[in-house]
Structure 1
Amino acid sequence: MQTKTNGSNDGRQWARSDATRQALLTAALQVFADRGYTEAGIADIVKLSGVSVGSLYHHYGGKAGLYLALWEELTGEQETRAVNTVAAARKSGVSDPIALFIAGARTYLGVCWERREAARLFHGGEGPPGFSLMRRKRARVWLGANTRLLRGQDGDHAAQVLSLVLTTVIGEAGREIALADDEASATAIIDEVCRILQRLAGEEPSAPA
Structure 2
Amino acid sequence: MTTSRARPAGGAGEAGGAGRQWARADATRQSLLAAAQRVFADRGYADAGIAEIVERSGISVGSLYHHYGGKAGLYVALWEELTEEQEQSAARAVSAARKAGEDDPIALFIAGARAYLQVCWERREAARLFHGGEGPSGSSLMRRSRAQHWIAQNTKLLRGTSGTPAGRAGQVLSLVLTTVIGEAGREIATAEGEAEAAEIIDEVCRILIRLAR
TM superposition score category, shorter chain reference: over 0.9
Whichever residue aligns with residue 85 of structure 1, its letter is A
After TM superposition, the score normalised by the length of structure 2 is 0.92
Which of the residues 16, 27, 33 maps onto 1:8?
A: 16
Tell me if 1:140 matches 2:148. yes
Q: RMSD over aligned Cα, in angstroms?
A: 1.3
Partner SS, residue 37 of structure 1: coil
CA drift at 1:201: 1.3
CA drift at 1:145: 0.5
Whichever residue aligns with residue 109 of structure 2, its letter is F
Tell me if 1:119 matches 2:130. no
The residue aligned with 1:167 is 178
Whichever residue aligns with residue 171 of structure 1, its letter is G
Which runs of structure 1 show a deviation greater than 4 angstroms over 4 or more consecutive aligned residues?
none
Greater alpha carbon shift after TM alignment, 159-168 vs 31-40 = 159-168
Distance 1:184 1:64 in 2: 34
- Equivalences, count: 200
Which of the residues 152, 175, 196 maps onto 1:185?
A: 196
CA drift at 1:157: 2.1
Partner SS, residue 33 of structure 1: helix
Superposed, which structure 2 residues align to 1:49-128 within 5 Å?
49-128=57-136
CA drift at 1:20: 0.2
After TM superposition, the score normalised by the length of structure 1 is 0.93
Note the alpha carbon deviations across 1:62-83, whole angstroms, 9 max, x for none: 0000000000000000000101
Whichever residue aligns with residue 138 of structure 2, its letter is G
Distance 1:187 1:137 in 2: 28
The residue aligned with 2:169 is 158
Partner SS, residue 46 of structure 2: helix
Note the alpha carbon deviations across 1:13-60, whole angstroms, 9 max, x for none: 000000000000000000000000000000000000000000000000
Whichever residue aligns with residue 196 of structure 1, its letter is I
Unaligned runs of 5+ in 2: 1-9, 161-165
Partner SS, residue 39 of structure 1: coil
Note the alpha carbon deviations across 1:106-134, whole angstroms, 9 max, x for none: 00000000000111110011000000011
Tell me if 1:25 matches 2:18. no
The residue aligned with 2:3 is none
| Identity across the alignment (%) | 73
Partner SS, residue 51 of structure 1: coil
Tell me if 1:41 matches 2:52. no
Distance 2:179 2:201 in 1: 14
CA drift at 1:165: 1.1
Unaligned runs of 5+ in 1: 203-209
